[in-house]
Structure 1
Amino acid sequence: MKATRLFDCMALQAATPVAGLLNAKENGVWKLYSTETVHRLVNELSMALLNLGISAGDGTTEGRDKIALISNGRPEWLITDLAVQQIGAILVPLYPNSNAKELEQILNESAVKYVFVSGTELCDKITEVKANIPSLKQIYSFDRIDDCAHWLELLKPLQAGDIERIKTISDTVKADDVTTIIYTSGTTGRPKGVMLTHKNILTNVMDSGEVLKQIPVEARTALSFLPLNHIFEKMCTYIYFFFGFSISYAESMDTIGPNLREVKPYIFTAVPRLLEKVFERIMDAGQKLEGMKKKIFLWSIAVAEEFEIHGKSPWYKIKLAIADKLVYSKWREAVGGNVKAIVVGSSATPIKLEKIFTAAKIVILEGYGLTETSPVIAVNQYIPAMRKFGTVGPLLGNVQVKIAEDGEILCKGDNVMAGYYKNPEMTAEVIQDGWFHTGDIGMLDEGKFLKITDRKKEIFKTSGGKYVAPLPIENKMKENHFIEQMMVIGSERKFVSALIVPSYTNLLPWCKENDILFVGHDQLMQNPRVIALFNGIIAGFNPEFNHVEQVKKIALLSNEWSVESGELTPTGKMKRKVIMEKYQKEIDKLYSGEAGDSTCDIITPAH
């Protein structure tokens, strides 16, 4: 059969059923949801929604009923998604960490009738604003909690004619119908509802799926832990569905390590921040070694940093093989032993990490796209000829790209959204003559590999009228293992500065080796030798940039930026405006001429 809707995956799955299509831990034990069980639950929920009066209405996006889903990744998430799809309604998935005010705004805008949540906290959050949402009739929870209806209460055994009724309705669903409205978290401004059709996502699924076809059928297992309401993880999930993968869901972000060792997946998706955290733990463990073991560990890191996709000298290959046997093989065991590739998206991956993981035979496949493009525009592939460090890979099949005169990446194809929900003006701003304006600046390296050089809206101008692109500076300097996070600033200022969060995983062992007493992060940031260390790091990088781009001052910060503390989006992007506001005092000190306790005047060595 030729799939034209996302839920067509069910017919393909039925032809080759498996015992564990979806898997999750319940009360500490892995529970396997077979293909048959998943499909039965999908159909029962579809019938329950129809009996509640949910319908495709007049067939327009506005007329179709909306169902909201606010939950961590779990089998029930996909079951709800498929059930909503096949009766022609529209799913509105939201981030679990969204605040109540934002949820109220989105649920009202989309006139959601029912909300499915994963537990007490989310049920309470929606209950708090329910009275302000006239369209909302009921909240259902996947977990059994007091004062909230359980989703299984909706389900009843299928009766004669139910499947035929569902099929009659699903046959009316067309490829161009909107299947989901995904509200972007955004680094600034109010969330926008991106309308994606079955065709948008499915074409991206099929073209992206070509990247995974080399994986043997018997090894097609994946672990999922990124938010499913983000199009990156949702689209990858449908790749798994259409290409015969078994999916297991991590219990939480804190249990990814143990879950990897239990599931032993071949592949998983991640954001660069997670890779950074994994590498921090690797370095932390290595720094605790002593004697020859520590020397071998540090030598293996240096070998990995030299890795090139298309090979090096025979002597390097010998060193790589030795490092693999002594060190890298242990890394692979720590993530289950079977992981061959990690698909990475959301923000730029440091080249150093790409090299280190790939050298360890865990190939990093970095891709690029936006919610508005379903999302993949380009992606590095497992085949060495289709990969290049520092780029986001070759263009995806059937996706067109051209670079505008100002360097902006423009995209055209079936993957481009139907528009922003209830916002035709903003839609017209970003889609012109059929081309979606990504807002990112880039180039085609070797005419083949897409390279992102900056975010158009993040490029700033100094008071001297010179333009500075912060992303390349940040990405380059974060290659140093002492720099955890970094934001380059300087809009309408005389010179460029930066806010830096040190990598305490690497800094603390250095302090110990240099007899610097650790009494707390705040005090450490004021230590003259620590300041001198970062002074030297920045000074060493500065000659790689032109004079106006060189970082003249830095402020060292004691607290890591995170989603929970508000500086990062749920997908790990910096909220630059939030960071600027939060650290305004430190920024003012950088430009006041004061010799602040944790600011450094950088002295760049001569070229």
Structure 2
Amino acid sequence: MDFKSPLEAFLYWEKKTPDQVFLNQPIYGKILQYTYKKAGEEARKIASGLRALGLPESSHIALLSKNCAHWHMSDLAIQMAGYVSVPIYPTLTADGVQLILDHSDAKAIIVGKLDSYEAQKAGIKNMPILSIGMYGVEEKNTWESWLKAYEPMVPFERDPIDLFTIIYTSGTTGMPKGVMHSSYNFVFCNKIFIKKLLAPDHFRFFSYLPLAHVAERLIATLCICKGAEVFFPESLDTFASDLKKAKPHLFFAVPRIYAKFQEKILEKIPQKRLDLLLKIPVLNMILKKTLQKNLGMGSALIIGSAAAPISVDLIHWYQKIGVTILQLYGMTEDCSLSHANTHEENKVGTVGKAHEEVSVKLSAEGEILIKNDCMMLGYYKNPELTASVFEDGYFKTGDTGEYDHEGYLTITGRVKDQFKTDKGKYIIPAPIELALSANENIGQICLVGTGIPQPIALITLSEVGRTKTKKALAESLMATVRALNPKLEKHERVEKVVIMKEEWTPDNNLTTPTLKVKRNAIEKIHKPYYYRWFAMEDKVIFEAELI
């Protein structure tokens, strides 16, 4: 259908298939289902409540919640009321929440499913709060009381090119930027993706990555455009069983998630036994189908990975069990319409070819420059920064890359991630990090080396790695380093590996909510120790022993 906005798409399906299940919300071990009719009725009443606050036209309404049915209904209500949504990552601290609320000029906030609302509440000041009692959040205004107090409203109609949402980048460096998008941008992208996905009429999606991120938000609007059914996990403990029940047609994850899935499989079936079973013809097919089913990917048409580099070895490992992971590439600013591998054209290790609707070129420095018809409207309240990231109409991604003769793009690093050793040599860390991450004992990695002669690898351990002895870890890690170093230039060769005493997470601000490593934050903490670590005799160093 040729929809002009996600809201128009929802209204179409609400009228055409009112009794079809739209949202499946697990809570306390049970599933609450919201049909298109029920979701529309609740969204209309909440929209009436928002309008009753007497806010100015096109006001900005923040949305702080984990993925849940009420996130989607809140987003619809904000659209119906004629307002602009400002999604906030549910893992942010009170200071992070306040920073975005202040910068975005939010006039009200909807608070839904959270793990630590009491700790975040201090960041919400001087604005109406609509809480959702079902998730244990009780404020003066509640979702449940508004459903009783207000009548459904007739949705406002806004111009598709008007501001629809402000998406704050998860930010590996500095202050998050408020990326402005129109509803046209989302429906334009979704027309392209729906055509390529060839999704069935009854399309299912499992939503768990933060809806404050552009990719998950884009898929959320794709689901509305497609009239799909959406499932959510209840908790981390029920994640695997919830995913298995959903049987999604589209599954999207960051590389860290796929690594975690692999670790869980290998806990039950060690690699040597798995290799042996896969060599037996009859058992091969049975085992593959069983693993796919247990992963919840038995019905998946597209299994995608993006947001960070994924190990080629990890992709090949999944291929052996019949799961094809397609690497994709996109950014908040270009509404994720950039590059993708497909089942027909897939080259492992690359992020695929540019979509036909995208124009791309490389700068003299190798930076990837993108142009499409769904580019951001700009950075909120920052026209100077907006102007600085465009060159002749092309968006400067900040990523460096190379094309092969077939048109497949390989991301080689970030322009700003380069660092210089004390030999005066620049090093691009991403390719080296990716090669080292093939070691199953490594969970996360950050290659550093400012001010020392050779780079060193700071790592956290995977679940597999945490089961190993120190001796076994040291031997395994150095074997990987010794195998890699001859392939590198002399100034790039890794001198040491330092095992961190704690994992890097969004909670300690060492990764973004989408699990990208925050290089600047890690360097700020550990840079004073580089010289000391480099001078130590051991090649593998355990940070915990030095504290």
Relative to the length of structure 2, the TM-score reads: 0.92
Per the alignment, residue 365 of structure 2 pairs with 406
Shift of residue 200, structure 1, vs aligned partner = 2.0
Shift of residue 51, structure 1, vs aligned partner = 2.3
Amino acid at match of 1:22: L
**Distance in 1 between residues matched to 2:116 and 2:442, nearest whole Å:** 35
State the identity as a percent.
Answer: 29
Contact 1:117 1:142 in 2 (8 A): no
Contact 2:448 2:455 in 1 (8 A): yes
Per the alignment, residue 391 of structure 2 pairs with 432
**Distance in 1 between residues matched to 2:138 and 2:184, nearest whole Å:** 40
CA offsets 1:4-51 (integer angstroms, 9 cap, x no match): 222121133132445311111122111111111112222222222222
Q: Which moved more, 1:241-250 or 1:357-366?
A: 357-366
Per the alignment, residue 82 of structure 1 pairs with 76
Amino acid at match of 2:322: K
Per the alignment, residue 481 of structure 2 pairs with 538
Contact 1:208 1:396 in 2 (8 A): no
**Superposition pairs for residues 171-186 of structure 1, below 5 Å?**
173-186=158-171
Amino acid at match of 1:554: V
Shift of residue 496, structure 1, vs aligned partner = 1.7
Relative to the length of structure 1, the TM-score reads: 0.83
Contact 1:555 1:586 in 2 (8 A): no
Contact 2:413 2:428 in 1 (8 A): yes
**Distance in 1 between residues matched to 2:117 and 2:541, nearest whole Å:** 45
Per the alignment, residue 514 of structure 1 pairs with none
CA offsets 1:374-412 (integer angstroms, 9 cap, x no match): 12311222x3x3211011122124122111111000111
Contact 1:399 1:415 in 2 (8 A): no
**Superposition pairs for residues 141-220 of structure 1, below 5 Å?**
141-143=132-134, 144-156=136-148, 162-163=153-154, 166=155, 169-170=156-157, 173-213=158-198, 215-218=199-202, 220=203
Per the alignment, residue 521 of structure 1 pairs with none
Amino acid at match of 1:216: P
Amino acid at match of 1:113: K
Give yes or no for the alignment of 1:227 onto 2:210: yes
Q: Which moved more, 1:494-503 or 1:84-93?
A: 494-503
Give yes or no for the alignment of 1:467 onto 2:426: yes
Per the alignment, residue 477 of structure 1 pairs with 436
Per the alignment, residue 306 of structure 1 pairs with none
Shift of residue 343, structure 1, vs aligned partner = 2.0
Give yes or no for the alignment of 1:255 onto 2:238: yes
Per the alignment, residue 551 of structure 1 pairs with 494
CA offsets 1:315-343 (integer angstroms, 9 cap, x no match): xxxx5955632532221121234334322
Unmatched 5+ stretches in structure 2 = 543-547
Q: Structure 2 vs 1, CA of residues 176 and 556 (structure 1 numbering), >3 Å: closer, same or farther? A: same
**Superposition pairs for residues 53-132 of structure 1, below 5 Å?**
53-55=54-56, 57=57, 64-118=58-112, 123-125=117-119, 127-130=121-124
Q: Structure 2 vs 1, CA of residues 376 and 532 (structure 1 numbering), >3 Å: closer, same or farther? A: same
**Distance in 1 between residues matched to 2:118 and 2:99, nearest whole Å:** 16
Per the alignment, residue 312 of structure 1 pairs with none
**Distance in 2 between residues matched to 1:530 and 1:124, nearest whole Å:** 40
Look up the SS of the partner of 1:194 in the other structure.
Answer: strand
Which has more radius of gyration? 1
**Distance in 1 between residues matched to 2:113 and 2:204, nearest whole Å:** 27
**Distance in 1 between residues matched to 2:539 and 2:424, nearest whole Å:** 30
Per the alignment, residue 42 of structure 2 pairs with 41
Look up the SS of the partner of 1:53 in the other structure.
Answer: coil
Look up the SS of the partner of 1:217 in the other structure.
Answer: coil
Amino acid at match of 1:327: L
Q: Structure 2 vs 1, CA of residues 352 and 204 (structure 1 numbering), >3 Å: closer, same or farther? A: same
Look up the SS of the partner of 2:333 in the other structure.
Answer: helix
Amino acid at match of 1:65: S
Q: What is the root-mean-square deviation in Å for CA atoms of aligned residues?
A: 2.5
Shift of residue 175, structure 1, vs aligned partner = 1.9
Q: Of residues 325, 333, 336 in structure 2, which corresponds to 1:364?
A: 325
**Distance in 2 between residues matched to 1:322 and 1:538, nearest whole Å:** 38
CA offsets 1:113-162 (integer angstroms, 9 cap, x no match): 211112576653464244xx44x1334335354444311222358769x4
Shift of residue 194, structure 1, vs aligned partner = 0.9
Q: Structure 2 vs 1, CA of residues 552 and 125 (structure 1 numbering), >3 Å: closer, same or farther? A: closer
